Amino acid sequence: MSGRLIAVSNRVAIPRDGQASGGLAVGVLAALKEHGGIWFGWDGKTTDSEPHDARVVDDGNISYATINLNRTEFDAYYNGFSNETLWPLFHFLLGFFKYDRHNFESYLRVNALFARKLKPLLEPTDVIWIHDYHLIPLAAELRRAGVTQPIGFFLHVPFPGYDVLRALPVHEHLLRCLCAYDVVGFHTQRDLRSFQECIAQPGIGGHILSDGRIRAGGRMFRADVFPIGIEVEDCGSLAHAHRDNPEVKLLRDSLMGRRMIIGVDRLDYSKGLPERFHAYERLLQHYPDNRRNVVLLQIAPPTRTGIRTYNEIREELEGIAGRINGRYAQIDWVPVRYLNRGYDRGMLMAMYREARVGLVTPVRDGMNLVAKEYVAAQDPDDPGVLVLSTLAGAAFELEQAVLVNPYDTDGVAAGIQTALEMSLAERRERHSAMIATLQRNDINAWRSRFIEALRHGHEGEQHD
């Protein structure tokens, strides 16, 4: 089977000056360039009127097809059900979980709208690849509209076990929607096992076959693990190319020989930032030789502005950073540099390379590409050390990192100290092993494996 690739995501990331931002955008664009096709999704604009039909912009063999959304509907679909219901639920953070039936109904209507606007653009030989929790019902809507082409789904966040998922009143509806796909992909075996547990519940009645396929909802489909990767060589090249950037040189000079610990995260409660700051404070308490000799640089650009929970996180972090600096700072040393802004990819890679420790400690994460980028950006002759949460998907691959539980304040502090004291020989050995893993599971391997599974799985389905 051959044909165009149709990628669908909540938001379409049209590259600027030919450069994508990394992660999903890099993998999807590479696949679209290889196969030709369409990237379909929301254009980032809202309206008080009826959304328009897809507007298409062509760039070589790739077309970007975007629609706008009704303002009220978008708020309920995106800020409401997607990010106040599914996001905390899928990250096992039920303390932040909220459910509102009105928001769920808007979620379904927006997915139905996506299906209506996408269907006229489809050709019989197309292969459709849908991304992330915003669009779980989309395949079911497309099937209802008569679409028979292969449809795959990749979840970029964790998938919870049944005891967590059943907190959602409409969990069975979403599970049935996932049965409309030909391939459902996850980052880790942990996520896959959770999905299999949920799909086998009596309310769904799914059966896991000996070859790993699933029979449920009157269909046969495949669920499997496809860990997303990065452009490994690109990270190293960018870090090297930007080492003499004026801001990077300013950062290097300002450290005055001190060792830097770096964290780069969206401002989100799943990233474990308050816990991280507390662990760094414990490091200064329990290992006083680090005072005046280390600096924590935490970059946390704002996300989902206007949602109260995220504003509260920002205020909490500012308070903790202020307390640490007030307690420990000296006239020539500030222990925490906390920046609420983003940096371009080249700058970030260069800053990763300057850091002796990369601190990646989410309380739950599907994968976490910062962990992979930090490793890839290092100088192999003098690499830094990754301190990584066991609750991030990346921990399943980067076993040579210093692995910590983000809820264990003393344990994270001890992990940072281990990284700071690690010998050059051990740092090189760990880095070499992790680079080999990253190269084996890079971004191209991720998208190639998924698309191959989707094409093969759909062809196999026709003979069952």
Out of 365, 431, 442, 458, pick the active-site residue: 365
Is 156 part of the annotated catalytic residue set?
A: yes
Instruction: Check: CB of residue 157 under 8 Å from CB of residue 91.
Output: yes
Out of 91, 156, 171, 431, pick the active-site residue: 156
Pairing of strands 207-208, 294-299: unpaired
Closest CA to 264 of 298, 229, 302: 298
Instruction: Check: CB of residue 138 under 8 Å from CB of residue 40.
Output: no
Q: At a CB cut-off of 8 Å and minimum separation 6, what does 240 contact?
A: 353
Max Cα separation, the chain? 74
Angle at 372 between CA 194 and CA 263, to 5 degrees: 100
Q: At a CB cut-off of 8 Å and minimum separation 6, what does 275 contact?
A: 361, 363, 406, 407, 409, 412
Classify the phi-psi angles of 299: left when phi > 0, otherwise alpha if psi is within -120 to 50, otherwise beta. beta
Report the DSSP beta bridge partners of residue 47. Answer: 70
Distance in angstroms (rounded) separating the CA atoms of residues 305 and 321: 21
Distance in angstroms (rounded) separating the CA atoms of residues 368 and 365: 6
Residue that is written with structure tokens 């371009």 in the block: 344
Q: Give the catalytic positions in this structure.
A: 156, 365
